[in-house]
């Protein structure tokens, strides 16, 4: 039997057998048959079968069957098929945007992650990006969003951009059990409603630590694929399918999650050009890598403004998706950045005045400038400046090169240090070992957040002070 071109199919062929060949664009399970959307060079037809098809989206196949009239014009009732060629997702790696030996070592993982993403887009597996809600997490997630939406819209209509992609911030500094629960619930209802496959989850600027472990374990148990792009001190987590973290190959936190995501975005979608996201992340996380600044023609002072404004806006967005909002704020053709930046400056000025009246300053025996602040005494606004912003202000406005600053409230302490020997993760581990106070937290060497049972706030504070007193100045 000769292959009939889909565009040549007409009424005279109704109820006769014919053969068509092409690529499988989509497969949908309905309450009745499976719908197979087949396309050749110039047209598309729906083929139906009650047996689960033994081929995938992206495969090239030929189908034999009888031509019928369906809901949307002609359809072919499948009586047999052959798979001509299995769909493969090719990743073309053309080099990283900057020269960096740590990135080079991570190259195989980047290629694996990129092919997993392209495969998900091709097979219409939904992609969920969960990210830390700070400038680094946002810039990384937004870079991936731009690259992945570009890929999805190349192949599909715009409804699918919403069905197949979502990006949601996490408000904890780790992928919380709550995040996992939310992602699973959403995946299950999309599966029921639209026949979606289980998602590919990409965690940005979270995901590597022990606090992330149980959430990741849960989504894996529900059949998710998981990619992590993070630069916090990692554990060896076998549940993660592709774990990209500079610490795993001898690097450190100076390669930010935003940089990892921008590199991955470029590999996934060569049309991606928004390299400024890497620059914003460098500023947000105080990285010493300056190479990304040279790739964009936005002045450093503007990138700094952008980082501050994302941090500000993130406090109000909390867990909202708000697609397009941050992109619009960063659009330099309008004055949104200025509106926000003026408000930030106003609030910070008030905050600094309030801090100076309530700050506890102590020069410890080892010479460390130990600053503590009770957040309850300085909290004017609900969202900004946050407890973390206050810790930053302590260091910037009241610190020197040998300072440890702690801002605390019931059950939470945020710490920043300029003393080179201070190691947040070491402190966290010591507190976990020496207390039973339900310690959780996350951070880098010189900055982090500890959460604990609130009645032990005083004891935790004295243990932090004890740790700092024993540091080399």
Least separation in angstroms between CB 205 and Mn ion: 4
Nearer to Mn ion, 205 or 239 (CB): 205
Least separation in angstroms between CB 287 and Mn ion: 9
Least separation in angstroms between CB 132 and Mn ion: 6
Stretch that binds Mn ion, among 64-72, 121-129, 202-210, 243-251 (CB under 5 A): 202-210
Query: Do 206 and 174 meet the contact criterion of CB atoms below 8 Å apart?
Result: yes
Nearer to Mn ion, 58 or 442 (CB): 442
Least separation in angstroms between CB 285 and Mn ion: 4
Nearer to Mn ion, 136 or 213 (CB): 136
Q: To which residue do tokens 């200025």 refer?
A: 338
Nearer to Mn ion, 183 or 230 (CB): 230
Stretch that binds Mn ion, among 75-83, 236-244, 253-261, 366-374 (CB under 5 A): 253-261
User: How far apart are alpha carbons 398 and 366 in whole angstroms?
Assistant: 18
**DSSP helix/strand/coil, 242:** strand
Of 205, 312, 328, 327, the C-alpha closest to 259 is 205
Nearer to Mn ion, 26 or 211 (CB): 211
Stretch that binds Mn ion, among 48-56, 108-116, 135-143, 368-376 (CB under 5 A): 135-143
Of 139, 166, 133, 345, the C-alpha closest to 256 is 139
Buried/exposed code over 432-448 (b: 16+ C-beta within 10 A; e: otherwise):
beeeebebbbbbbbbbb
Nearer to Mn ion, 209 or 372 (CB): 209
Q: Which residues contact 431 (CB under 8 A, 6 or more apart)?
A: 437, 439, 450, 452, 460, 463, 464
Stretch that binds Mn ion, among 150-158, 197-205, 233-241, 410-418 (CB under 5 A): 197-205
Q: Which residue is nearest to Mn ion (CB)?
A: 136
x/- letters, 272..311, toward Mn ion (CB under 5 A): -------------x--------------------------
Size of the site for Mn ion (CB under 5 A): 4
Q: For the residues of 132-174, what is the DSSP string, one character each?
A: ESSHHHHHHHHHHHHHHHHHHHHHS-HHHHHHHEEEEEESSSS
Assess 212 for contact with Mn ion (CB under 5 A).
no
Least separation in angstroms between CB 449 and Mn ion: 13
Query: Do 107 and 93 meet the contact criterion of CB atoms below 8 Å apart?
Result: yes
Query: Do 27 and 41 meet the contact criterion of CB atoms below 8 Å apart?
Result: no
Least separation in angstroms between CB 96 and Mn ion: 19
Nearer to Mn ion, 59 or 205 (CB): 205
Stretch that binds Mn ion, among 256-264, 344-352, 398-406, 413-421 (CB under 5 A): 256-264
Of 190, 130, 184, 124, the C-alpha closest to 160 is 124
* Strands of the 412-417 sheet, one edge to the other: 360-363, 369-374, 403-409, 412-417, 447-451, 440-444
Nearer to Mn ion, 211 or 351 (CB): 211
Least separation in angstroms between CB 136 and Mn ion: 3
Stretch that binds Mn ion, among 3-11, 109-117, 171-179, 203-211 (CB under 5 A): 203-211
Query: Do 240 and 207 meet the contact criterion of CB atoms below 8 Å apart?
Result: yes
Query: Do 396 and 388 meet the contact criterion of CB atoms below 8 Å apart?
Result: no
If residue 36 lies in a helix (H) or strand (E), which one and from where to where?
Answer: strand 34-39
User: How far apart are alpha carbons 48 and 90 in whole angstroms?
Assistant: 29
Choose which of 38, 58, 130, 136 interacts with Mn ion (CB under 5 A). 136
Least separation in angstroms between CB 253 and Mn ion: 7
Choose which of 59, 145, 205, 423 interacts with Mn ion (CB under 5 A). 205
Stretch that binds Mn ion, among 59-67, 201-209, 291-299, 344-352 (CB under 5 A): 201-209
Q: How many other C-beta atoms lie within 10 A of the C-beta of residue 464?
A: 21
Which DSSP category does 73 fall into? E
Nearer to Mn ion, 6 or 257 (CB): 257
Nearer to Mn ion, 218 or 257 (CB): 257
Q: By the criterion CB under 5 A, which residues form the site for Mn ion?
A: 136, 205, 257, 285
């Amino acid at each position: 039997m000769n292959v009939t071109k889909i565009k040549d199919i007409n009424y005279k062929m109704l109820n006769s057998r014919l053969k068509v060949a092409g690529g499988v664009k989509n497969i949908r399970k309905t309450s009745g048959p499976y719908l197979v959307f087949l396309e050749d060079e110039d047209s598309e037809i729906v083929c139906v079968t009650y047996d689960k098809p033994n081929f995938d989206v992206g495969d090239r196949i030929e189908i034999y069957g009888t031509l019928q009239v369906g809901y949307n014009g002609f359809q072919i009732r499948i009586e047999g098929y052959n798979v001509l060629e299995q769909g493969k997702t090719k990743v073309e790696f053309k080099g990283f945007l900057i020269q960096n030996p740590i990135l080079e070592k991570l190259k195989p993982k980047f290629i694996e992650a990129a092919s997993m993403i392209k495969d998900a887009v091709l097979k219409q597996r939904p992609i969920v990006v969960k990210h830390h809600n700070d400038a680094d997490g946002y810039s990384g997630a937004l870079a991936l969003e731009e690259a992945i939406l570009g890929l999805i819209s190349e192949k599909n209509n715009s409804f699918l951009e919403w069905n197949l992609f979502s990006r949601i911030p996490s408000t904890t500094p780790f992928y919380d059990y709550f995040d996992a629960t939310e992602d699973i619930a959403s995946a299950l209802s999309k599966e029921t409603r639209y026949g979606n496959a289980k998602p590919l989850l990409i965690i940005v600027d979270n995901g590597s630590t022990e606090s992330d472990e149980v959430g990741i374990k849960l989504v894996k148990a529900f059949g998710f694929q998981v990619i992590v792009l993070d630069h916090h001190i990692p554990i060896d987590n076998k549940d993660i399918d592709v774990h990209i973290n500079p610490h795993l190959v001898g690097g450190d936190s100076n390669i930010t999650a935003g940089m990892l995501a921008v590199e991955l975005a470029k590999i996934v979608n060569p049309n991606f050009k928004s390299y400024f996201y890497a620059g914003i992340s460098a500023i947000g996380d105080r990285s010493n890598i300056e190479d990304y600044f040279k790739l964009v023609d936005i002045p450093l002072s503007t990138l700094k403004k952008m980082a501050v404004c994302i941090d500000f806006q993130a406090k109000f967005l909390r867990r909202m998706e708000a697609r397009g909002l941050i992109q619009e704020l960063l659009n330099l053709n309008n004055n949104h950045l200025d509106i926000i930046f003026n408000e930030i400056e106003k609030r910070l000025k008030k905050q600094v005045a309030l801090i100076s009246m309530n700050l506890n300053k102590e020069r410890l025996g080892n010479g460390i400038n130990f600053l503590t602040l009770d957040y309850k005494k300085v909290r004017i606004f609900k969202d900004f400046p946050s407890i973390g912003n206050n810790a930053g202000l302590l260091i910037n406005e009241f610190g020197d090169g040998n300072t440890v600053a702690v801002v605390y409230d019931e059950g939470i302490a945020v710490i920043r240090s300029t003393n080179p020997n201070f190691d947040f993760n070491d402190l966290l581990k010591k507190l976990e070992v020496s207390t039973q106070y339900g310690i959780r937290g996350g951070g880098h060497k010189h900055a982090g957040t500890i959460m604990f049972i609130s009645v032990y706030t005083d004891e935790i504070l004295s243990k932090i002070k004890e740790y700092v007193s024993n540091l080399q100045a």
